[in-house]
Structure 1
Amino acid sequence: MTNRLNQCNRMAEGGRIDRSKPLTFTWNGKDYQGYQGDTLASAMLANGIKVVGRSFKYARPRGIFGHGAEEANALMQLGEGKETIPNPRATQIELFDGLTAKATNGWPSVDFDLMHWLGKLGGKMMPVGFYYKTFMWPEKMWMTYEKFIRKAAGFGHVSAHPDPDIYDKLNQHCDVMVVGAGPAGLAAALEAGRAGKRV
């Protein structure tokens, strides 16, 4: 792999990336390249990837709009199997070699979504919250309808396998817990502390 990747939207120099360290990542089953220091979003933009998701209701194409935690369009499904992570923002994912990401919505693909055409054809018949009225009968069918509505919303999925990571935990115990730091809360904490209680 050469140090100069063929990326249509990459500046020739500058930025906070190390052009001597190219990385490979996978987006929706296709391999792309980026550099150390890229976020997933910056590498996707450099490779000319424009559509990264679909809007919730009408499945309109959505691209990367922000550059940090405020990004609402670039929610990904990161990784595979036990270690999959649903809904991180591409703007907050540091690129690493072998990273695998895919769109959380769009069927059969994010570039060509059949729900988009359904929204174009029946959009006027789908006002906000239409599914809460339309799919309420027969009542026994609501659980079935709900599965399809959730799938259409396009959020990622959590792995059905146990989490392989280990987490630290700490349990704190007290005799008295005071919620609030106003005059009454401070007085209660002081009184309980003077009485020998763990506050």
Structure 2
Amino acid sequence: MERKICIYCASSNKVASKHFEATDILATELVKHGITAVYGGGSAGLMGRLANTMLAQGGKVVGVLPRFMEKVEWGHKGLTELILVEDMHERKKLLINEVDAVVALPGGCGTLEELMEVITLKRLGKFTKPIIILNLDGFYTPLVELLDKMIEEKFMRPEHRSIWTVVNRPEEILPAIESAPEWSEDKINIAAV
């Protein structure tokens, strides 16, 4: 059965080269393992790099792009499949539909919003697959500390730490997916604190 992984990543072309290099490593690993990437459909920044690297190696890439972004030509033109949707809400829903995992690369407010939404959905038992956060050079350390603070101050339970896995290098992403703790729909029973 075809495996699909949703990748949250940024559209900025101005980020440090280390982020592009990490994206290349992940893209190559996905192709090597025959995994299809599902991502936001953009042609710039880490989005474009992910797609271009995978496509150049014969990989499959599915983009999900709101129509208003297509109108300003932000969409990637060479994807395996480009799905146009009406708005950001529909995009986020389709990005995680029937995927085997979610990976968050470093990114901006859009990436953060997507990541927090899927963490919330997993807490509620509406999404049950692994969520991997690439904490390249400590990028997500403040977020992980904030999540720990939420647990410490009883806004979340200690068990909720099992919702996500933090890795420091792109080579660790696929092994982290394989070893992620099981999660089920009945976890809604521990959603409340």
| TM-score, length basis structure 2 | 0.26
The answer to which structure, 1 or 2, has the higher relative contact order (CA under 8 A, 6+ apart) is 2
TM-score (norm 1): 0.26
Larger radius of gyration: 1
